[in-house]
Structure 1
């Protein structure tokens, strides 16, 4: 019997977990990729989530290598910090396989989707595991040729295998950064709000990526399409898409010769861009935060959605619905269940804040994942919301005036009183946080406290 242990380590801000056995690539006449899994929520042994063959093994292997490159990369951390490898997350459900990961700095999110038609096998159960992508496995993926076949097993239990009779791979205890959990709560909300702006064919996407300047680029660049020719430029023009840290797009370069097309999804406030490559029944998505120095984990996109008090029984019911159905469209779910759109939005936001929901902008659906995460950790990942709760508990929020669409309030601070004005959907505050960010990184704790008092 093998026992997993979870240790919360505040000073290094990670969740630590151990694998019961290493993942491995098993060579032979029919190569297999075996991914050892860990789950905090599913402790009992069960069947493999997926077991079968991949219809596009060469393409899928290249996409997984690109995903591992994202996970190894960092655009803000020191070499020592970036040297700690982290492992991607894989979800099996709704006849799809989804591999996800963040860069070390949490400013780049990547996902590989193997869609129906991209595999031939059995989904014996639905589930999510944190998988071990060690160097021997990556080397084995590099060795897969265009004419090779590969079988894939995604399992939630211990797997002890060898890639060669005389060689085994040992898995070590791996830290799962809290940044990843925080990033997953934010990037999904950005994706859900994004809209498709451009679709580029093979020729166009190669022309476009030739225009990425060399080296690290600190200034913003803009994507514009003139006629049929897309181009990056440091000059902002009408309807151009802003791309911060454009050098991060080089992570896609190894996949460009293989891709059929590229689609670009853009957040309404340009807070993120998503670059999605298509390879038949396999997709590779790369989402970039607004600036290279600021990861998705530092954003506050989920805060407004966490203001309303949602009964835990509804969250649990929604959790079970997501686990059973694996995918859902929030709007259609509200209609089917005869529930209010606002309530469904609040519930999906809670599940996203727990890391239990991802979003597929191509199909406009949420997909369900299970992570080593629990409901009571939401506040610890959102200190501004925690501070807002404290302001209310200490009775430091006073409503000065309230009209039909405008509210003015005073919030006591450390030696100063802040004024908060909320008019329709817009809010402003006199604090230094709001003055610095102007709402681009979510509301300040004073605005959150006032909105929660009004709720």
Structure 2
């Protein structure tokens, strides 16, 4: 997907002994959105926006070891190895030694001649790393100005973490001019260093610069246009995490010290084998317990009581991403945890009092096929006619933020239809759900509405699996459990042919082995990922056996 931005100048920051000022350059291709305010909660703002930066640059995907230097060394010494291996007599050894000494001399001369070049090359790469790291950020953060708060949103490089920093207007000592709306901002890595200079004794001013909307001369040399080609998976991941906010969840408050204890234990040990999960044991009116696997170390938090109506045991993976919360905990009042289910997205809302940082984690750190097909967050739950959906969206647009009950009263529509309509708009990137205040907010993620149908499925196999499930063509045969792993067999009726499927799902809920009688598997094995029959059987196992909710019904109307 192609995105185009147009900025007047660049985001800038300045600091002196008396004040710090941050001026963000908004995207002038979007509707005018600007804001000016003097920050009152200096230290909390510094820690929260620094955590947001860590989300922006987060990339915990596996990076294979760079073996370029090894292969270069092997190439240079290949002649020596060959000579040593083929030496047949003592008479050749003096000649080999002579040639090796000559080669070493030539290598030394080459190194001496090339040293200035290598030094300049290293300096150039260091310069790029410090000055042009912005190219590594796929999508600039989004800022939304609302009547009650201003909030920043971003998504990580590895497509697995979502960050949101919301600031009530009470967080600012004074407010200047503002225009409500959403805009992309020009973000720079150098800003992070400036954030660290925020102090309680300095005035700190936050500005979304309105001048770009006042000067609309296309040929102005100060205007800078950027075009970014984003993979669909990046945008799909953002919408998937956003849609997950609307799912029912187990909610409880953790004391910041308890959250810090979890991070400390994770930092002290490094697991060498699975399962690598955090298991939350929730009992009504009892302290929250967390089991750190694979060591089965149980932490009991007497300061954090679970007030939910029913007991639950929920596992989350990708726990190393929680380290992003580390520097926010010292000033936090509480950490509210939202767990939607085992292997499903989870959210951690750090409350500073008027200022909140939300970290949303997808089910896994790696958004690969191992987690595909577990749930479908992008499927509408109910059919909503176009006129009703438009009325609901217009009512939300006039208020910018509202609860489903308020919108139902304004439009004379039932709450289930309000939820369904707003969920569809969430899928289009036009609405988001505020976990902390339990209401929907108008937020246009992009300048043009996104197409849910284009982003709904990650692959043709996932789309076919969805159709097979809707047609009720999947049958579970047998499930055998052994040391935390599950061996599942079943059949899928596809084109009048019963495809026989077998799966092995390990303790980390990863698909570690699979077989199918279909043409796709016979020709590709697992090199191109699982076939549609494997995905369909796995989803049915999650829904009917593991109790993981399959969100959505087929046939809902997509709303643009």
* Residue 442 of structure 1, CA deviation: 8.2
| Alignment deviations for residues 225-277 of structure 1 (CA, whole Å, 9 cap, x no partner) | 79657544224997333121111111111222222221111114551221111
Aligned twin of 1:61 = 46
1:19 aligns with 2:7: yes
Write out aligned runs for 1:364-375 (5 A). Answer: 364-375=438-449
Gaps of 5+ in 1: 1-7, 10-14, 161-167, 401-410, 419-429
2:266 corresponds to 1:266? no
Write the mapping of 1:129-148 to structure 2, written as runs, cut at 5 A.
129-148=183-202
Instruction: Kindly report which structure 2 residues correspond to 1:67-78, keeping only aligned pairs within 5 A, or say none.
Output: 67-76=52-61, 78=63
The residue correspondences of 1:265-414 to structure 2 (distance < 5 A) are 265-268=338-341, 271-294=344-367, 301-305=376-380, 308=383, 310-375=384-449, 377-383=451-457, 413=494
2:392 partner SS: helix
Distance in 1, matches of 2:359 and 2:21, equals: 27
* Preserved contact between residue 145 and residue 182 of structure 2 (Cα < 8 Å): yes
* Residue 233 (structure 1) aligns with: 292
Cα separation, 2, equivalents of 1:96 and 1:323: 15
Distance 2:246 2:330 in 1: 29
* CA deviation vs aligned residue, 1:355-399 (integer Å, no higher than 9, x gap): 111212221111111222534622211248999999999xxx989
Deviations 1:290-338, CA, capped at 9 Å, x for gaps: 2222389967544431773x44444443333322211111133224422
For residue 98 of structure 1, the aligned residue among 151, 174, 188 is: 151
- Please give the per-residue CA displacement for 1:118-162, whole angstroms capped at 9, x wherever unaligned: 1231463211111222022221111112322211112466289xx
Going from structure 1 to structure 2, the CA distance change for 1:412 and 1:208 (only over 3 Å counts) comes to closer
For 1:89, the equivalent position in structure 2 comes to 142
Partner secondary structure for residue 67 of structure 1: helix
Whole-angstrom CA distance in 1 between matches of 2:372 and 2:204 = 39
1:35 maps to which of 19, 24, 29:
24
| Residues 383-417 of structure 1: per-residue CA shift (max 9 Å, x gap) | 48999999999xxx9899xxxxxxxxxx9856747
Structure with the larger helix share: 2
Distance 2:430 2:180 in 1: 13
Does the aligned pair in 2 maintain the 1:98–1:113 contact within 8 Å? yes
Closer, same or farther in 2 for the Cα pair 1:134/1:216, shift >3 Å? farther
Structure 1 vs Structure 2 CA RMSD: 4.3
Alpha-carbon distance in structure 2 between the residues aligned to 1:287 and 1:152: 25
C-alpha separation in 2, matches of 1:60 and 1:279: 9
Once the 2 structures are TM-superposed, how far is the Cα of residue 353 of structure 1 from its aligned partner?
A: 0.9
The whole-number CA distance in structure 2 between the counterparts of 1:39 and 1:253 is: 35
Does the CA contact (< 8 Å) of 1:385 and 1:448 recur in 2? no
Secondary structure in structure 1 of the residue aligned to 2:37: strand
Match of 1:421 in 2: none
Structure 1 pair 225–256 and aligned structure 2 pair: CA distance change class (3 A): farther
Q: Secondary structure at the match of 1:22?
A: coil
Distance 1:361 1:41 in 2: 26
Cα pair 1:22 1:159 within 8 Å, conserved = no
> Residue 366 of structure 1 aligns to a residue in which SS?
strand
Please give the residue correspondences for 1:426-445 in structure 2 after superposition, counting only pairs within 5 Å: 431-438=533-540
- Superposed CA deviations along residues 166-212 of structure 1, whole A, max 9, x for unmatched, are xx998865555544432332223322224453322243333232222
How far apart are the structure 1 equivalents of 2:228 and 2:196? 23
> CA 1:338 to 1:72, structure 2 compared with 1: closer, same or farther past 3 Å?
same
Q: Which has the larger radius of gyration?
A: 2
Unmatched segments (≥5 aa) in structure 2: 67-132, 215-221, 299-310, 474-491, 500-531
Superposition pairs for residues 141-180 of structure 1, below 5 Å? 141-155=195-209, 158=212, 173-174=227-228, 178-180=232-234
| 8 Å CA contact retained: 2:429, 2:449 | no
SS at match of 2:245: helix
- The alignment's TM-score, normalised by the length of structure 2, stands at 0.62
Asked whether the 8 Å contact 2:55–2:324 carries over to 1, the reply is yes
Equivalent position of 2:128 in the other structure: none
- What is the TM-score when the length of structure 1 is the normalising length? 0.74
Aligned partners of 1:208 and 1:230 also within 8 Å: no
Shift of 1:345: 2.1
Matched residue of 1:158: which SS?
helix
Q: Which moved more, 1:245-254 or 1:143-152?
A: 143-152
More moved, 59-68 vs 33-42: 33-42
Query: Shift of the alpha carbon at 1:286?
Result: 0.9
User: 1:111 touches 1:284 (CA, 8 Å); kept in 2?
Assistant: yes
Match of 1:222 in 2: 279
| Aligned CA distance change for structure 1 residues 324 and 21 (closer, same or farther; 3 Å) | farther
CA gap 1:347/1:380 in 2 versus in 1, 3 angstroms: same
How many residue pairs are counted as aligned between the two chains? 404
